């Protein structure tokens, strides 16, 4: 099969022909339909800390078709379309049973999506319904990362939210913040490349002002934020977030910063700020992210079963006292 | 103006010509565009407990155009399209400032929507954007009632949810439960009139089995519910919900039952069940319900900025290391 | 051995000579030191619902000395003084590992304390330190029941608390409410037998006014309660508690009412009251109750290491800049 | 009056004669009975950051007798014994009404306790009952600081707690952790000066091992901590706490570190740790701390009203069926 493989740090990936994968008894072969390129894939090829080996196939955001499986696999059949959860775990410990697989003692990360075929395990395969595409199946992962962060943040209906970083994670946070009831969602970046996309995904306002990030965000949001989501992963941003959040507010840390960061805990304590960190996601969050892509699933306007005039109101009013297929009837006077 | 007025208990409404309303200094005149007929409007004409008076104009779920206002009104102008929050309150006490207007000491309910024009107050008028219709503005209220219940229920991503009653409130709960991440949503009624609508609004399964409601719901849901939403308001349903919920689960009571209800607290205690009640909604919840109708606001698929082949992957991978308008790029091997 | 055994409903217990118990491989023999008489023991001899059999030995609140054990028992030795948790469970399932044994599928209740010797299991034996007596070991159970209820109630520092029923459970709730930071604790009963005891255990005020329970409690408490603890178990008290609690307050149900109860859910919903139920306790709560009896464990006044005059202040102030055995030094001007 | 006044940085305090204070209309004069010397008082005389001025009288932990007051003061009279809350605030804004005075816009800190008389405001005076001394009244402040931290930490019955720093704040945290139900409480310091005091105040174990703080604390606690309380305020301790806490645990920051601190957010995120900060305390927490010193308030052993033999059990059992002054009767077989 064809695959784009890692060669060495600071070198481009190389297109190679590898042997088609053969599944172990408990493995599944997925013909990759779509695979996302993640920012961390880019970092892996530049930073020795990630420990990539020559020949490795990157790619952990993928969906495809089941085309083979080992003898012990149950619950899947050839032809099933699946999104692959890139979290490897034992599948039966206490954490796994709750779907909190990132805390399983055998936890590791799955790659392999930059290829025609990839090997995975059945407990990582989430079947796709007929109303989602393979492209949809490949963007569930960043949505789930963001949903986990929003869930841990304790966000409430009506909160003001500031998101630092307009990469896929920050944009996915904007989507969930809007969907789960934030009153106002601002996304802040150092360039305006993603401005329109951010608005399409739920942001009310996009802020670019590297000279004056705190004042600009405050003006855009109409005050300090109830919650600041750090979705960049660079030194200095937690300290900035402390300035940008309300007294007693929350900073939710999604960004992975491998360099040591300097911050002033005194300023944080003076405002009684909470710093909450968020790693990966749970299986229910992955499934909820899939459901969010399932466009037909929930249309609130279906409440309305008919519209009538004021003239017809007294009669229709009487007929509504007998239960029928009517639901919410609107009067148009 | 034309209006459909209440005459007497057990009598139809009557179409009448009333004087056009004149606003007080702090009032607003709204030309009704759409007004929902609520189940409680039906009850008011049959049950003396509600205290309707001859000549009253019912209708508290309405949206329309601002066509007049008193001298002290600010922040609104003629021509504004608004949805009217039917909760009258002082507007400046501690509760009002938090938008929890149902706890204001001057709280009462607004009617008047079954007419060409209605009087209201500026703090009850929520402006509609260009992407929502007046019909949308008339269904925000039941959505907000349901959102308040779901918020108070403590529902978490992945929960199994059972909804008793497929009226507008139950269906709106199904919408939010799906949208806010429930793993499985079952709606149970005593007739199947709303089966299709329920599925369109977010239900996975619709249960009708008046003889055997507990066993049927359990089969449909794949177990007892984490949360049961009572959206009927009839005696006996809390007791039924105790049977239908998991040990340590929650019953969220939205249904208004004016008759005394008998229930066995011993059974409830044996399972350590919580019974949480929910009244009306907050202003932020009303606004979040409006935002949910705002179709263009949040499309998760916008994450994807392009799709490439495996052959192109090494080169595109390199270009992605320089920030550009690209966001999530998908590989189609 | 001597034992007081159940004979039949409405008959006194009878003192009998039974064979001394022989432990199974996984059982422990405890020489009973003290055993509490519980209100439910009294009910068991009057109410067929409890299903007592002739020859049964009641008594589930006991402590004593380990005097024998089966071959598989580890972690205990003859002579150990123990309090016996009266909750039988498997000891190794997920619930048992968290100490939430009341949710174990093999859960049942332990009796046998009205005798010279009793059989139990090692996972039910909590060792007593040298600073607690066997009498202390026999009152841990009602304290743990009450602590579980207070924990589930969500009580916060500064809350106003009303307790219905001045039996051992209600009094133990008063103890914990005071200890865990309630601002004001009122106990209400229909007789004043326990007035002094209630005050000694933490109540600020004791209310007896069967004619006018709502108004009297409100006067005594200085307003409606944040939390009402129902510790009686009779019909009508949940409805009364709805009247006695603040809007949006909590009713915590500890009382076991075997009769069906009538209540008005409409009144409850109008105030958005939560009804939370509480069954038994967890093992950590049992251990925390033991620690609470451990008188020497925590004396806040030990903070003070010395008292000085104003004249000595400048010099002592300097010496305090070098760390020493001093802790909080007080100036007495 | 006599007072110990600040002269200059790195200089001893000086005993001086100052004019007796004259109250403004809204002020109270307190004759200081006892005043605690706080660690931050020591820092103020060494660190320019605190901005002390020559002539200032330090001392914010004091109690005494009301000896004078201005014309507008109500609710206090000469002779009242009071503990003074050292938080100055407006007294009537939303925050003040909830007792969360540290968030009042007019918030500042009160000093003046190192003198014979001090001026304060009536809303800062908490009356002392007859069962507490003036010395008790002077140690409420550090207890309240610690209680606020424990409340914000979300500590649950059964948690394992590690406290860094055995100064008054750390020791007071140990007191509350024990009292509020921690399963195991370890205090860690760099010297063993406070070992015995820590045990008297609630610690199970005291750890001193500056070379190997993480391993030693883990051994002493029997695993990583559910909650680490940082009560030192030096750089490096948050990073240490990240190592010492369980995955998904909480670090509660009480220590004030005025120097910038370096920490590795990556390690924190990998364990999904929460960092919660705690500033001052609320008025209800101050009052609850006073109640905790009130020795007679809550004695759990009062539950026991009598002890009987097994021989007497059948008869006493019958008499208990009629309500009397008996409460918990113990059988001693
Ligand atoms: N917690 C988890 O489980 C988890 C999972 C996945 C990813 N992550 C982390 O989440 C972070 C975001 O991921 P991503 O894929 O969205 O990354 P990304 O595409 O690199 O997005 C980060 C964005 O932040 C911008 N940025 C840089 N400095 C900024 C500043 N000072 N203020 C505001 N914006 C700034 C970047 O701009 P430039 O590109 O111009 O610098 C970029 O647009 C990364 O650290 C990633 O490692 C965490
Ligand atoms: N908490 C609040 O703030 C708030 C606000 C608004 C409304 N409400 C209350 O919420 C409840 C629902 O309102 P709605 O407008 O949706 O009412 P609705 O249209 O009357 O819907 C109730 C549905 O439940 C069905 N039903 C009757 N008995 C049932 C049973 N045993 N099991 C399952 N379903 C059963 C009804 O069927 P049939 O019609 O065939 O009987 C009907 O389809 C009402 O009690 C209303 O007063 C509360
Ligand atoms: N949830 C659990 O896990 C759990 C565990 C143990 C016990 N319980 C239950 O908790 C309840 C209390 O137990 P207990 O041992 O403390 O019982 P108890 O000794 O019978 O105490 C109940 C007290 O309430 C009084 N009372 C009766 N009617 C009242 C009213 N209308 N208002 C105020 N007080 C009233 C009783 O007075 P009179 O005696 O004069 O009637 C008695 O003093 C019982 O229902 C018991 O079954 C629950
Ligand atoms: N958040 C708030 O509202 C609030 C209120 C009051 C006080 N505080 C702060 O709370 C902190 C504690 O106050 P305190 O009065 O208890 O102070 P303290 O008396 O100075 O106590 C701190 C203790 O920590 C010890 N220590 C130093 N380095 C350590 C290390 N690496 N590991 C373990 N222990 C170490 C100190 O030992 P040595 O003395 O030998 O160095 C001392 O015994 C201070 O930072 C204070 O400013 C906060
Ligand atoms: Zn596992
Ligand atoms: Zn108001
Ligand atoms: Zn078990
Ligand atoms: Zn204030």
Contacts of A240 (CB under 8 A, 6+ apart): A164, A213, A214
Distance D87 CA to ligand 6 centre (A): 30
DSSP state of C115: B
pLDDT (mean) for D33-46: 88
What fold, for A2-141+281-331? Quinone Oxidoreductase; Chain A, domain 1 (3.90.180)
Q: Which of A217, A206, A223 is nearest to A240 (CA)?
A: A217
Decide if D304 contacts C135 (C-beta within 8 A): yes
Per-residue pLDDT averaged across A31-39, rounded? 88
| pLDDT score of B87 | 96
What is the number of the ligand closest to the CA of A90? 5
Contacts for C265 with CB less than 8 Å, ≥ 6 apart: B238, B253, B257, B261, B277
Rounded Cα distance, D159 and D228, in Å: 11
Pocket of ligand 4 (CB under 6 A): A 269; C 323; D 39-40, 145, 164-170, 188-191, 231-234, 237, 254-256, 278-280
> A312 pLDDT band (50/70/90 cuts)?
confident
d(CA C100, CA C271): 32
Contact B237, B162 (CB under 8 A): no
Please tell me the distance from the alpha carbon of residue A169 to that of residue A39, in angstroms, as a whole number: 10
Q: Give residue-wise pLDDT tens across range A105-122.
A: 999 999 999 999 999 999
User: Percent of chain D scored above 90 by pLDDT?
Assistant: 72
D169 neighbors D143 (Cβ within 8 angstroms)? no
What would the two tokens of residue B143 be?
A: 């959505």
Is it the case that residue A194 has pLDDT exceeding 80?
yes
HSE at residue C310, side-chain half, CA atoms within 13 A, is: 24
Which one of the ligands is nearest to D101 CA?
Answer: 8
Predicted TM-score (pTM) of the model is: 0.93
Contact in structure between C317 and D42 (CB atoms under 8 Å):
yes
For residue C57, give the DSSP letter: B
Q: Chain B: nearest CA to A282, how far in angstroms?
A: 9
D103: pLDDT strictly greater than 70: yes
Residue boundaries of the structural domains of chain D: 2-141+281-331, 143-277
Q: What residues of chain B have any CB closer than 8 angstroms to a CB in chain C?
A: 103, 152, 238, 247-248, 253, 256-258, 260-266, 268-279
ipTM confidence? 0.92
Confirm whether C2-141+281-331 and C143-277 share one CATH topology: no
Beta bridge partners of B253: B230, B277
Number of residues in chain A: 333
Give the whole-angstrom CA distance, residue A290 versus residue B183: 11
Low-confidence ranges of chain C (pLDDT < 70): 295-299, 303, 306, 325, 327
Which residues are found with C-beta within 5 Å of the ion, ligand 7?
Answer: C 89-90, 93, 96, 104
What is the structure's pLDDT at C107?
A: 94
Query: Distance of CA C226 to CAs A158, C218, D20, D266, Å?
Result: 25, 11, 44, 42
| pLDDT one-digit tens code per residue, B140-166 | 999 999 999 999 999 999 999 999 999
Q: Beta-carbon neighbour count of residue A278 at 10 Å?
A: 23
- Residues in a beta bridge with C32: C64
- Pocket probe for ligand 3: among C150, C190, C276, C279, the residue whose CB has the most ligand atoms within 8 Å is C190
What would the pLDDT profile of A282-309 be if each residue is shown by its tens digit? 999 999 999 888 755 556 777 666 677 7
The whole-number mean pLDDT for each consecutive block of 10 residues of chain B, a chain of 333 residues, reads 91 91 96 88 86 92 95 96 95 92 93 94 93 87 95 96 94 92 94 88 93 97 97 95 97 92 90 97 94 68 68 75 68 72
Residues with CB under 5 A from ligand 6 (ion): B 89-90, 93, 96, 104
pLDDT value for D163 = 97
SS3 of residue A241 by DSSP:
helix
Residue D130 has a pLDDT of 83
Number of B/C CB contacts below 8 angstroms equals 76
- Residue holding tokens 């066997």? C134
Residue B54 CB-density burial (10 A; 0-12 exposed, 13-18 middle, 19+ buried): exposed
Query: Which H or E run includes A317?
Result: helix A313-320
Classify residue D77 as left (phi > 0), alpha (psi -120 to 50) or beta.
beta
Residue range B45-83, pLDDT digits in tens? 888 888 899 999 999 999 999 999 999 999 999 999 999
Comparing alpha-carbon positions, the chain B residue that sits nearest to C273 is B277
Which of these, D311, D333, D307, lies nearest to C65 by C-alpha position?
A: D333
Three-class DSSP labels, chain B: CEEEECCCCCCCCEEEECCCCCCCCCCEEEEEEEEECCHHHHHHCCCHHHCCCCCCECCCEEEEEEEEECCCCCCCCCCCEEEECCEECCCCCHHHHHCCHHHCCCCEECCCCCECEEEECHHHEEECCCCCCHHHHCCHHHHHHHHHHHHHHCCCCCCEEEEECCCHHHHHHHHHHHHCCCCEEEEEECCCCCHHHHHHCCCCEEEECCCCHHHHHHHHHCCCEEEEEECCCCCCHHHHHHHHEEEEEEEEECCCCCCCEEECHHHHHHCCCEEEECCCCCHHHHHHHHHHHCHHHCCHHHHEEEEEECCCHHHHHHHHCCCCCCCEEEEEC
Q: CB–CB of D32 and C333 under 8 A?
A: yes
User: Which pLDDT value is given to residue A223?
Assistant: 96
Q: Which residues line ligand 3 (CB under 6 A)?
A: B 269; C 39-40, 145, 164-170, 188-191, 231-234, 237, 254-256, 278-280; D 323
Contact D32 C331 (CB under 8 A): yes
Give residue-wise pLDDT tens across range B92-106: 898 999 999 999 999
Neighbours of A240 (CB within 10 A): 20
pLDDT tier at D55, thresholds 50, 70, 90: very high
**Bridge partners, D72 (sequence order):** none
Q: Which ligand is nearest to the CA of A103?
A: 5
Atom of ligand 2 nearest to the CA of B277: 1
Chain B partners of C275 at a C-beta cutoff of 8 Å? 268, 274-276
Contact yes or no for A302/A328 (Cβ under 8 A): no
Q: State phi, psi for D304 to the nearest 5 degrees.
A: -80, 120
D23 vs C297, more confident: D23
By the 10 Å C-beta count (0-12 exposed, 13-18 middle, 19+ buried), D259 is classed as exposed
Work out the minimum CA distance from D35 to partner chain C, whole angstroms. Answer: 5
Convert the pLDDT of each residue in B167-184 to its tens digit. 899 999 999 999 999 999
CA A3 to chain CA centroid, Å, is: 26
Ligand 2 close to Cβ of residue B190 (< 6 A): yes
Task: Report d(CA A85, CA A123) in Å as an integer.
Answer: 8
Alpha helices in chain C (DSSP H): 39-44, 94-98, 134-137, 140-153, 168-179, 195-201, 213-221, 237-244, 265-270, 283-293, 313-320
Q: State whether residue A209 is helix, strand or coil.
A: coil
Cβ C13 vs Cβ D313: under 8 Å = yes
For A143-277, CATH gives: 3.40.50.720
Residue A31: phi and psi, rounded to 5, are -80, 115
**Test site for ligand 2: of B231, B243, B251, most ligand atoms within 8 A of the Cβ:** B231
Q: What are phi and psi of D182, to 5 degrees?
A: -60, 145
pLDDT (tens digit per residue) in D294-322: 755 556 777 677 678 778 888 877 887 77
- What's chain B's average pLDDT? 90
User: How high does pLDDT run on average in chain A?
Assistant: 90
pLDDT tens across D113-167, in order?
A: 999 999 999 999 999 988 888 888 999 999 999 999 999 999 999 999 999 999 9
- Structure tokens, D262: 């370096």
User: Which atom of ligand 2 is the closest one to the Cα of B281?
Assistant: 3
- DSSP-based three-state secondary structure for D285: helix
What is d(CA B187, CA B177) in angstroms, rounded to the nearest whole number? 11
Please determine, for residue A332, whether its predicted confidence score (pLDDT) is greater than 60: yes
| Spatial separation of the C-alpha atoms in residues C294 and D248, rounded to whole Å | 31
The residue whose CA has the least distance to atom 33 of ligand 2 is B189
């Amino acid at each position: 099969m064809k695959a784009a493989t890692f060669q060495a740090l600071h070198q481009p990936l190389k297109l190679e022909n590898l042997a088609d994968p053969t599944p172990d008894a408990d493995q599944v072969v997925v013909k990759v339909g779509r695979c996302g390129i993640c920012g961390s894939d880019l970092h892996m090829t530049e930073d020795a800390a990630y420990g990539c080996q020559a020949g490795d196939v990157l790619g952990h955001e993928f969906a495809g078709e089941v085309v083979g499986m080992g003898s012990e696999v149950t619950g899947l059949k050839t032809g099933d379309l699946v999104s692959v959860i890139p979290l490897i775990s034992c599948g039966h410990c206490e954490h796994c049973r709750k779907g909190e697989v990132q805390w399983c003692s055998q936890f590791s990360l799955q790659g392999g999506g930059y290829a025609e075929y990839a090997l995975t395990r059945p407990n990582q395969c989430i079947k796709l319904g007929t109303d989602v595409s393979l492209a949809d199946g490949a963007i569930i992962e960043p949505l789930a990362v963001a949903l986990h962060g929003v869930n841990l943040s304790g966000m409430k209906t009506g909160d003001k939210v500031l998101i630092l970083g307009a990469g896929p994670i920050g944009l996915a946070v904007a989507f969930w913040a809007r969907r789960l009831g934030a009153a106002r969602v601002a996304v802040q970046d150092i360039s305006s490349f993603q401005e329109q996309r951010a608005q399409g995904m739920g942001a009310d306002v996009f802020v670019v002002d590297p000279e004056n990030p705190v004042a600009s965000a405050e003006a855009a949001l109409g005050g300090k934020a109830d919650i600041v989501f750090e979705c960049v992963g660079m030194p200095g941003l937690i300290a900035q977030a402390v300035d940008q959040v309300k007294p007693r507010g929350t900073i939710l840390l999604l960004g992975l910063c491998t360099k040591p960061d300097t911050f002033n805990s005194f300023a944080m304590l003076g405002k009684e700020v909470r710093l909450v960190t968020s790693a990966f996601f749970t299986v229910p969050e992955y499934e909820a992210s899939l459901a969010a892509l399932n466009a037909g699933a929930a249309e609130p306007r279906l409440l309305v079963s008919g519209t009538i005039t004021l003239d017809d109101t007294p009669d229709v009013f009487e007929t509504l006292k007998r239960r029928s297929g009517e639901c919410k009837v609107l009067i148009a006077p």
